[in-house]
Amino acid sequence: MKSYVNLWNQCLEIIKDNVTDSVYNTWFTPIIPIKYEGNDFTIQVPSQFFYEYLEEKYADLIYQTLSRVINKGIILNYRIIVDNSNRNNGHTTLQSEHPAACDEDRRKVKGLNEAPADLGQSERDWNPNLNNRLCFHNFFEGSSNKLARSIALKIAQEPGKDFNPCFIHGCSGVGKTHLCHAIGNKIRELDPQKKVLYISAHLFEVQFTDARKKNTHNEFVHFYQGVDVLILDDIHELAGKEKTQQAYFHIFNHLKLIGKQLILTADRLPIEIQGLEERLISRLKWGLTLELQKPDLELRKKILQNKVKQDGLNISEEIIDYIAENVTDHVRDLEGIITSLVAYSLVYNREVSLELAKRVMSKTVKMEKKQITLEKIQNVVSSYFKIHINEIHSKSRKREIVQARQVAMFLSKKYTDYSYSHIGNIVGKRDHSTVLHACRAIQDNLDVDKGFRLTMKDIEALLQS
């Protein structure tokens, strides 16, 4: 067997542990390794659509895995099967647009680390780190987001004036990041001279750590203090990062003082983010807090119809209605199911039918099922671990009881809309910090322990039965 095939098989073993079975079977099983020469690794994919989806969703995972297996940076190439068999023997080859996994500097927003003090760079060179496809025209309005969308548009029209800072919160997948990019893109459209910058809290932390190592902390802070509109996504990821929070605090104060716009997002209210400094929480309360809720039925249909139209697909209204009625949690689930349907259709040469939609949905997303209550969660967990429900509520520190208790808390937060405080009160009259710790402990185990992931999968299957 050729070495590149062995290398790719090693990559697949790692990838399989980091994605769901449905994702693995849909997006990675059809890939064929073609060659590995020098730093170039070439894989074959069945269509242009397949290539574009991999690039958007999984290029980072592929790069990181190849880099780990090969132990050096690589250049990823795709050989794409095309319909016109007279063209390049039925295929064309494209290089990935993502930077190599070892090239960390290229992953960072241009200017932040290469020349953080250079605030006089021209508009042509300024990189706002915005996704131009995420705009207001494709952020559809519904009852769940009407207020947030309206206020966001006002901010974009007059940044720094009335709603500053603006804190947007909501669970994963409801459109927080899309709304942030829409604001940034609108501001740039109305005033191209504005220095707008979108950055995730994770990347902000990476850059801050890098600046400390290089002893360029002051330059790092000064760069951010020269921005006109700063959008920080997922600030909850800075919880417990005291030094990074201090740096952001000084940046925040300076920009607010001189009337620059600040926009932040999180998956919960500031007061619920344990590990966030009190003085930073108080600053976040200065402005406006907006909540994005899960999309209602009509909004879900709008999103699906736009996705179908955007991709030039032929999917019936019956299928759109079925998806909208049964996939209720996340916007990205709605768009992802359409993409998965097309992928299945291309790979297996099947028409996109209602039957195929039901089959794909059962494997790719959590379908709307009977309501899962706190009582049901506790009953299922206690039964699975073969302990009495009173032991979950007790103060026992026995390992198996602590684990069952933490699992019950984690699943309560995942499957209900109750706050940490309410869950803690129900599960043995504990405070919200205990529940938050339990959720983090379970998530940490899920990230590193394949056996534990299988255990949780079994418990969740019982919950949904």
Query: Average pLDDT, whole number, for the chain?
Result: 82
> According to the model, what pLDDT value does residue 362 have?
73
- CATH code of the domain in which 68 resides: 3.30.300.180
pLDDT: which is higher, 345 or 206? 206
CATH for 437: 1.10.1750.10
Banded model confidence at residue 110, pLDDT cuts 50, 70, 90: very low
Which of 268, 291, 314 terminates a domain? The answer is: 291
Under a CB-based contact definition with an 8 Å cutoff, are residues 456 and 404 in contact? no
167, 276 contact by CB (below 8 A): no
Same domain, 134 and 263: yes
* Residue the block writes with tokens 């980072």: 60
Q: Are residues 202 and 238 in the same domain?
A: yes
User: Do 326 and 207 share a structural domain?
Assistant: no
Q: Do 137 and 282 belong to one domain?
A: yes
- For residues 99 and 154, the model is more confident at 154
> Distance between CA atoms of 378 and 415, rounded to whole angstroms?
12
| pLDDT the model gives residue 364 | 62
Are 204 and 223 in a shared domain? yes
Q: How deeply is 229 buried, as exposed, middle or buried, from its count of CB atoms within 10 A (0-12, 13-18, 19+)? A: buried
* Residue 125: predicted pLDDT: 64
Percent of the chain with pLDDT over 90: 28
What are the pLDDT digits (tens) for 233-255? Answer: 999 989 888 999 999 999 999 99
- Predicted pLDDT at 121: 47
pLDDT of residue 271: 85
Half-sphere exposure of 200 (CA within 13 A, CB side): 10
Q: How far apart are CA 375 and CA 463, in angstroms?
A: 11
367 has a pLDDT exceeding 60: no
Residue closest to 303 by CA, chosen among 188, 180, 173: 173
- Asked whether residue 90 carries a pLDDT value surpassing 60, the answer given is no
Report yes or no on 118 lying in a domain. no
Is the pLDDT at 119 greater than 50? The verdict is no
Kindly state the average pLDDT of the residues 7-24.
Answer: 84
Looking at residue 274, its pLDDT comes to 84
Q: What is the pLDDT of residue 86?
A: 41
Assess whether 155 and 47 both reside in one domain: no
CA–CA separation, 269 and 461 (whole Å): 30
Residues 155 and 280 in one domain: yes
pLDDT over threshold 70, residue 366: no
Is 350 within the bounds of a domain?
Answer: yes
Residue 100 has pLDDT above 70, yes or no: no
Q: Among candidates 171, 94, 183, 87, which has minimal Cα distance to 135?
A: 183
User: Domain holding 310: CATH number?
Assistant: 1.10.8.60
- Count how many domains the chain has: 4
276 close to 245: Cβ distance less than 8 angstroms: yes
Q: How far apart are the first and last CA of the chain?
A: 44
pLDDT at 300: 84
Would 115 be classed as within a structural domain?
A: no
Among the ranges 336-350, 401-415, 416-430, which has the highest mean pLDDT value?
Answer: 401-415
What band does 112 get if pLDDT is binned at 50, 70 and 90?
Answer: very low
User: Among 83, 171, 181, 167, which residue's Cα sits nearest to residue 131?
Assistant: 181
Q: Once rounded to an integer, what is the mean pLDDT over residues 187-202?
A: 92
In a domain, 111, yes or no: no
Q: Are residues 24 and 89 in the same domain?
A: yes
Across 327-335, average pLDDT: 71
CATH at 264: 3.40.50.300
> Which of 313, 342, 364 is where one domain is finished?
364
Judgement on whether residues 209 and 166 belong to the same structural domain of the protein: yes
Q: Is residue 106 part of a domain?
A: no
State whether 328 and 401 are in the same domain.
Answer: no
Could you read off the pLDDT of 274-293 as tens digits, one per residue? 888 888 888 888 888 988 88
* Minimum mean pLDDT range among 45-54, 92-101, 343-352, 418-427: 92-101
Give the lowest-confidence range in 180-189, 316-325, 439-448: 316-325
Candidate from 1-15, 73-87, 169-183, 218-232 with smallest mean pLDDT: 73-87
137 and 277 both lie in a single domain:
yes
The token pair at 331 is 């916007």
In a domain, 109, yes or no: no
Residue 208: inside a domain, yes or no? yes
pLDDT by residue (tens digit) across 410-434?
Answer: 999 988 878 888 899 899 889 888 9
Q: Note the pTM of the prediction, 2 decimals.
A: 0.55
Contact 284, 270 (CB under 8 A): yes
| CA dist., res. 423 & res. 417, Å (int) | 10
Q: Mean pLDDT over residues 19-27, rounded?
A: 81
Report the distance separating Cα 351 and Cα 330, nearest Å. Answer: 26
Q: In the prediction, which pLDDT does 240 show?
A: 87
pLDDT band with cut points at 50, 70 and 90 for residue 71: confident
The stretch 121-127 carries a mean pLDDT of 61
Check the CA dihedral 376-366-56-32 and report its sign: positive
Above 50 in pLDDT, residue 117? no
**To the nearest 5 percent, what fractions of the chain are helix, strand and coil?**
55, 10, 35
DSSP 98: S
Q: Reply yes or no on whether the pLDDT at 405 is more than 90.
A: yes
Looking at residue 82, its pLDDT comes to 60
Both 220 and 341 in one domain: the answer is no
Task: State mean pLDDT over 35-56.
Answer: 84
- pLDDT tier at 172 (50, 70, 90 boundaries)? confident
Last residue within a domain, chosen from 273, 291, 309: 291
Residue 108 domain flag: no
Find the mean pLDDT for residues 77-84.
72
Question: Is pLDDT at 118 greater than 50 in this prediction?
Answer: no
Query: What is the extent of the structural domain holding 427?
Result: 374-464
